Each structure stands twice: as C-alpha cells, then as structure tokens.
C-alpha cells in the first residue's frame, strides 16, 4: 500500500536520496560490515548532499525544513537497501542529538556547532546510558562538579551510538547528587578535551557497521559555555525530547518491515518447491497476507503520528504506542520472512539475514517495550 503521507516535493527528494545511496552507501556496505565501522567521509558526503541538519535554519547551514516527512523518506530508502547501520547513525544526528541543540543551545552555541553538524564535519552523540543505568536514567552516577567558571565531569557511559566517530557528545551528569532527578544537567563535551577518552568499540549482535562505544570522562574540564539548557533540568530536557526519538525508531522499524516484506514477496515468486513457486503454496500466501495486513495497518497509525509531530501535538503516550508496536512488528515480520526464505534466509548474502540481526535491538533502545507499556498503562489508569 502506497502511503498518502507524501507530496510531489517529498517524492522528488526521494529520488535524490536514492541516487545518494546508490553512489555513497551501497558500494561500501559489505566492507563496512566486515570492518565494523563506516567511513568517516560518509558524513561529509551526506552533509554536502543536504541530508544532515534538515531541520536546521538556513542561517546555520541547514535545510530549514522542520517537516519530519523528509527524514522519513531517508529512513525508508536506507531500509530498502538494508542499510540499517547507516540509518541509525544519521538518525542519531538528526532525530536525537540535533533537537537538543536546536531547542536548548544559546545563539553563540548554535553558531559554534550547527554549521559543522549540517556539513558533516561534526558528528554528534548523546551519552545517557551507563553500565548500571539504562532505562532508569535516574540511576546515573556521572557527576559534574563546579570548579570556578567550569565543571569537572567524571563518569562512564556505554552503548553510545556514534561513539567512535563523534566530535561532540551531549552528556547527562549529576550537578546536585542530593536533588535526584532535579539535580542533573546536560554538557557538551568535545573531541580532544583532556580526560575524555573512548573505550572499546563494542561488538554487537547486529548493526555491525555502526560504531557503538564506551566513553570515559576523568575530570574533564568543561567550560560553562558548554552547559546545554538549564542547570538542574537535564532530566526534564531528556524527557521532553524522547517522543521524537521514539517516533523516529518506530518509523525506521516500519520501513524495515516493509522492505523485508518486499524482498520476501520477490523471493517467493522466484523460488520453487514441489514444482511450483512457493508463493503458490497456501501456507505461504496466508503468511504473506498476515504480514501485509499488519504492516499496512501500522503504516496508517504511523502516518498519523508523523502528522501529529509536524503539528506539534504528538504526545509521549502516542509516541510510546508507536515505538513498541512498530518495533515488535519489525521483529515479527523479519523473523517470519527469514522462515519463508528457508536456509537462504540464514545466509548473510541475503539482506533478510542482516535485517534479522539488525532488528533485535529496536525493542530495547530508546526505551524498552516494557517501559513503553508502562508509560501507556500509567496514562490509562491515572486518576488525573
């Protein structure tokens, strides 16, 4: 089912994105997967093509376009070629880190950082998760101690997307340990600051080409000019921006599910068993019917969610619904598509096999399925 979400302008943009992917992504995917790292040059190529900083005002070098549908187009086209690692890295920049800079940065900070983010000369990351604090961010232990006009940031972060390539890392740290969630602040730590080091490039089950790392901060002297947002409101700043992050993950999941179904339909039409295409087997047709129905119904909901986001009315609860449902759908669809591929579905030369291992993390990061259901359940049963 073709989505009614897009206009002619979006489809023209899609053609440009396809050309970029064919030129800058597809020829390198296998090597990136084997090397466990994408080329740094991909960022500057994406920036030159206008695929980074789409929502950044033109005065800072961006596209000046807040319509999320353009980002959704990029996600769909990357999913179509099985480039989940690239999609995650670009999404981290534009959908997760960038909103913090757009919403919270001062004029001086925007002039200092945004042009590089848009050109791809600056790769961003956001460091929340710690070895002992994942979904429960109130358990973080990283600290930022005031020292004159500066802060000394110490602690360890893990599972950090873009952790190896990142030039600018938004770090959540405790500025007042006695104040609980009200005692956290956000700091921008830049490559080369003394005391900021990177640990292992983590060896993940999937998303092999995407760099995920441990980060360490040993009394990193961070000037007050790198404090992001309001002191003591770091946790609130995070909560305010999670709906967009979760919506983005849901859109990636939907795009991946649709791509998996397209690949499988083509495979079932070509592959024969018992003297005829396996698409002619009733069990296959029933499975395909179920997957098509589930993906199309989910697409309708996500189209609405994207519209709500563009209108400024997307709620945290609706974003949570989209996130858990679409990511669980992605895993369910991909798993069943692997089954329809038979033994070939387990071979990495087929995109469905890579999609299988890449999909598993989707129900975990950005808030687990269980956390999403807790958000929704609390809303349903609250007395307010």
Q: For the chain, report the end-to-end CA distance as a whole number of angstroms.
A: 39
Strands (E), 193-243: 196-201, 212-223, 227-228
- 8 Å CB contact between 69 and 123: no
124-127 and 168-174 beta bridge pairing: parallel
Please tell me the predicted confidence (pLDDT) of residue 135.
Answer: 66
Those residues with Cβ within 8 angstroms of residue 330's Cβ, 6 or more apart along the chain or in another chain = 253, 254, 256, 257, 260, 359, 362
Does 214 participate in catalysis according to the annotation?
no
Q: How many CA atoms lie within 13 A of 17 on its CB side?
A: 23
What are the tens digits of pLDDT across the range 28-37? 999 999 999 9
Which residue in the list 190, 245, 258, 290 is annotated as catalytic?
A: 245
Using alpha carbons only, give the angle 269, 272, 276 rounded to the nearest 5 degrees.
90
Please tell me the predicted confidence (pLDDT) of residue 132.
Answer: 75
What are the tens digits of pLDDT across the range 91-139? 999 999 999 999 999 999 999 999 999 999 999 999 998 887 666 677 7
Quote the CA–CA distance of 273 and 284 in Å, as a whole number: 12
Domains of the chain, start order = 8-122 (1.10.540.10), 125-232 (2.40.110.10), 236-381 (1.20.140.10)
* Angle, in degrees to the nearest 10, between helices 234-270 and 351-359: 150
Percent over 90 (pLDDT), the chain: 90
| pLDDT grade for 2, boundaries at 50, 70 and 90 | low
pTM of the complete model: 0.94
- 8 Å CB contact between 131 and 160: no
Please tell me the predicted confidence (pLDDT) of residue 179.
Answer: 85
Phi, psi of 360, deg, nearest 5: -60, -35
What are the tens digits of pLDDT across the range 220-257? 999 999 999 999 999 999 999 999 999 999 999 999 99
What are the tens digits of pLDDT across the range 144-173? 999 999 999 999 999 999 999 999 999 999
């Amino acid at each position: 089912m073709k989505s009614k979400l897009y206009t002619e302008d979006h489809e023209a943009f899609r053609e440009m994105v396809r050309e970029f992917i064919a030129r800058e992504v597809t020829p390198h995917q296998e090597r990136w997967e084997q090397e466990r790292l994408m080329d740094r040059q991909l960022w500057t190529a994406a920036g030159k093509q206008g695929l980074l900083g789409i929502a950044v005002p033109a005065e800072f070098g961006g596209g000046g376009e807040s319509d999320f549908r353009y980002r959704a187009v990029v996600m769909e086209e990357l999913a179509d070629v099985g480039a989940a690692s690239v999609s995650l890295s670009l999404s981290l920049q534009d959908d997760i880190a960038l909103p913090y800079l757009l919403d919270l940065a001062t004029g001086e900070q925007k002039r200092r950082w945004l042009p590089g983010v848009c050109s791809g000369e600056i790769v961003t990351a956001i460091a929340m998760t710690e070895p002992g604090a994942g979904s429960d961010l109130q358990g973080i232990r990283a600290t930022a101690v005031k020292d004159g006009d500066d802060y000394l940031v110490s602690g360890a972060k893990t599972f950090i997307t873009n952790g190896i390539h990142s030039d600018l890392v938004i770090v959540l740290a405790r500025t007042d340990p006695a104040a609980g969630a009200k005692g956290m602040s956000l700091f921008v730590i830049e490559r080369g600051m003394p005391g900021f080091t990177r640990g292992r490039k983590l060896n993940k089950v999937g998303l092999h080409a995407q760099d995920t790392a441990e980060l360490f901060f040993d009394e990193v002297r961070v000037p007050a000019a790198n404090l992001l947002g309001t002191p003591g409101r770091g946790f609130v700043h995070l909560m305010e921006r999670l709906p967009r992050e979760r919506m983005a993950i849901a859109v990636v999941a939907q795009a991946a599910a649709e791509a998996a179904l397209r690949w499988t339909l083509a495979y079932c039409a070509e592959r024969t068993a018992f003297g005829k295409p396996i698409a002619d087997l009733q069990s296959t047709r029933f499975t395909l019917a179920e997957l098509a129905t589930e993906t199309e119904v989910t697409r309708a909901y996500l189209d609405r969610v994207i519209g709500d986001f563009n209108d400024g009315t997307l709620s945290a609860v609706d974003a949570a619904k989209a996130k858990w449902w679409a990511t669980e759908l992605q895993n369910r669809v991909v798993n069943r598509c692997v089954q329809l591929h038979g033994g070939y579905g387990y071979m990495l030369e087929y995109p469905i096999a890579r999609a299988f291992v890449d999909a598993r993390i989707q129900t975990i990061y950005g808030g687990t399925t269980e956390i999403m259901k807790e958000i929704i359940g609390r809303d349903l049963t609250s007395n307010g």
